């Protein structure tokens, strides 16, 4: 894809697992650049996730539906983050969530088959993959505990601290859904945050 280099992907890999530039380049061999247009899906519920992505630029979100049929945003994937339904990807089971681009996205993709081959042939890839999965699990666990133990105001503050670009690129209804609050509550929280 025109204008894309592996620099950002290599930096991400070396941040997860410090290694030489040569080793990091070996780890990226099976990744290929892909554009994802705004509103396009990279995964739909009931399909098996066959691709994992490193987001170079743009924003995606995952979402599902609650028992009442309401759409609930479960995660955001922004520039410099990893995007996948890890459960579906590694267990080869149908996904229970959708992953959709909110903006135009430039990403680096790796297929399940290529990842498995890299796990078996590149020791650095195996260790990077292990640490990356631990990091993704940590984010999920922290979010679960935050939903149980933190106020909506604190969850909003943490979200904006981690993903500052979200306010400019993501519709507020998705942010409210992610935080588990009504749109009106989010408006109130934002006004109070601006006063501070």
The answer to whether the CB of 166 falls within 8 A of the CB of 186 is no
User: Which CATH superfamily, name and number, covers 7-149?
Assistant: Jelly Rolls (2.60.120.10)
pLDDT of residue 162: 85
Residue 13, Cβ density class (10 Å: 0-12 exposed, 13-18 middle, ≥19 buried): buried
Kindly list the strands in the beta sheet with 71-77, ordered across the sheet, starting from the edge strand earlier in the chain.
41-43, 98-101, 60-65, 71-77
Which letter does DSSP use for residue 84 in this model?
-
In the chain, which stretches have pLDDT less than 70?
1-3
Q: Could you read off the pLDDT of 155-167 as tens digits, one per residue?
A: 999 998 888 888 8
CA proximity to 79, closest of 30, 11, 128 = 11
Which residue(s) pair with 62 in the sheet? 75, 99
pLDDT at position 164 is 84
Q: Where are the domains of the chain?
A: 7-149, 151-196
Instruction: In whole angstroms, give the CA distance from residue 25 to residue 17.
Output: 13
Q: What is the pLDDT of residue 167?
A: 85
pLDDT of residue 3: 64
């Amino acid at each position: 894809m025109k204008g894309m280099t592996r620099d950002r992907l290599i930096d991400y890999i070396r941040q997860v697992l410090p290694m030489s530039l040569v080793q990091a380049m070996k780890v990226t061999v099976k990744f290929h650049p892909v554009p994802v247009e705004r509103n396009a899906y990279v995964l739909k519920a009931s399909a098996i996730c066959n691709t994992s992505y490193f987001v170079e630029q743009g924003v995606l979100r995952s979402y599902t539906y609650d028992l009442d049929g309401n759409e609930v945003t479960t995660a955001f994937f922004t520039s410099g983050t990893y995007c996948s339904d890890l459960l579906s990807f590694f267990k080869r089971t149908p996904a229970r969530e959708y992953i959709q681009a909110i903006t135009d996205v430039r990403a680096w993709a790796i297929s399940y088959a290529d990842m498995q081959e890299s796990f078996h042939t590149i020791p650095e890839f195996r260790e990077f993959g292990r640490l990356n999965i631990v990091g993704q699990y940590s984010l999920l666990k922290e979010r679960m505990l935050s939903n149980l133990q933190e106020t909506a105001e604190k969850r909003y503050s943490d979200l904006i601290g981690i993903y500052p670009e979200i306010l400019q690129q993501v519709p507020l209804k998705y942010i409210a859904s992610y935080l588990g609050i009504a749109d009106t509550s989010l408006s109130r929280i934002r006004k109070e945050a601006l006063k501070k």
